[in-house]
């Protein structure tokens, strides 16, 4: 199980989101490998699930993407991630 968090340059916001994803996974008691990268690298990355805010998510065509309206809302992340993982697992 691999989750890739994506943002424009793969430095700041995807990194913060990665830390949040790890926090949520711990609460959901799911183990997965989580990493972050930039949009260019994302197209070549193999992951079971991609996570990005909605302004980036539209660029990730052909992938299973969790699209977030709010980068800092842990509740939204938990709901959407939980639902997406339910269908991927």
Partner 1 sequence: MKIIIDVLSSPAILVGLIALIGLVLQKKPLSDVLKGTIKTIMGFMVLSAGAALAVTTLTSFGIMFQQGFGIQGVVPNNEAIVALSLKQLGSSTALIMAGAMVFNIILARLTPLKYIFLTGHHTLYMACMLAALMTAVGIGGWKLVVGGSVVLGFFMALMPALAQPIMRRITGTDDVAFGHFGTVGYLVAAGIGALFGNKGKSTEDIKFPQGMAFLRDTSVAIALVMAILFVIVAVACGQAFVESTLSGGQNFILYSLLQAIGFAGGVFIILAGVRLILAEIVPAFTGIATRLVPNAKPALDCPVVYPYAPNAVLIGFLSSFAGGILGMGILLWINSRGIAVPIILPGVVPHFFCGATAGVFGNATGGIKGSIFGALAHGLLITFLPVLLMPLLGTLGFANTTYSDSDFCVIGILFGNFLHFVF
Contacts with partner 1, residue ranges (CB under 8 A): 7-13, 15-16, 19, 36-40, 53-56, 58-59, 68-72
Long-range contacts of 28-33 (CB under 8 A, 24+ apart): 28/78, 28/81, 28/82, 28/85, 30/1, 30/85, 31/1, 32/1, 32/2, 32/3, 33/1, 33/2, 33/3
Q: How far is the CB of 43 from partner 1 (least distance, A)?
A: 9
Q: How far is the CB of 19 from partner 1 (least distance, A)?
A: 6
CB of 58 or CB of 89, closer to partner 1: 58
CB of 53 or CB of 88, closer to partner 1: 53
Q: How far is the CB of 47 from partner 1 (least distance, A)?
A: 16
CB of 30 or CB of 71, closer to partner 1: 71
């Amino acid at each position: 199980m691999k989750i890739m968090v994506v943002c424009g340059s793969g430095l700041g916001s995807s990194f913060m989101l990665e830390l949040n994803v790890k926090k949520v996974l711990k609460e959901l008691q799911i183990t997965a490998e989580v990493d972050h990268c930039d949009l260019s690298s994302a197209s070549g990355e193999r992951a079971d699930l991609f996570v990005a805010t909605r302004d980036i998510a539209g660029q990730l065509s052909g992938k299973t993407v969790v699209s977030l309206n709010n980068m800092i809302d842990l509740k939204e992340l938990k709901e959407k991630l939980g639902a997406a993982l339910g269908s991927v697992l």
